[in-house]
Amino acid sequence: MVYQLKLKRIYEPPVREDGKRILVDRLWPRGVKKEQTRLDEWMKEVAPSPELRRWFGHRPDRFEKFRVLYRKELATDPGCRQWVDRICRYLQEDHVTLLYAAKDPIHNHAAVLREWVKNQCLDNP
């Protein structure tokens, strides 16, 4: 079976098909109680740097530049390889859902991270 790397807002209820649920925001989402969230892991380290996050400000007109800068952060972070390897291992056993709090489902860091992780898993199976 081929398992999928999915995206989902953390405010949406968990379902069995989510598989392993990983929060990828640096900050804990507002209004979300930890005890009510079925969360397998919180990988805040893979979120964009605070400076990049503030600059982006979830502005769609800055998204393409944000994508380039965030991918550069991911590629140059020495610890990122271990997080990606872990996600790739999880995908060998189950679906993985990357959880985020942003309102825009297209212009957010989780979408960039998903694309980057998928490429890394394919390049280094």
Span 2-43, pLDDT tens digits = 899 999 999 999 999 999 999 999 999 999 998 888 999 999
pLDDT the model gives residue 48 = 96
| The two three-digit tokens of residue 66, written as one number | 């944000």
pLDDT the model gives residue 101 = 97
Greater model confidence, 110 or 121: 110
> Amino acid identity of 48?
P
- Nearest by Cα to 6 from 122, 94, 89, 75: 94
Task: Spell out the residues 6+ positions from residue 16 whose beta carbon is closer than 8 angstroms to its own.
Answer: none
Q: Is the model's pLDDT at 125 over the cut of 80?
A: no
pLDDT the model gives residue 37 = 87
Give per-residue burial for 24-43: e unless 16+ CB within 10 Å, then b: bbbeeeeeeeeeebeeebbb
Report the number of distinct structural domains present in the chain: 1
What domain range is 41 assigned to?
5-123
Q: How many CB atoms lie within 10 A of CB 120?
A: 18
Give the mean pLDDT of the chain: 94
The tens digit of pLDDT for each residue in 32-88 reads 998 888 999 999 999 999 999 999 999 999 999 999 999 999 999 988 888 989 999
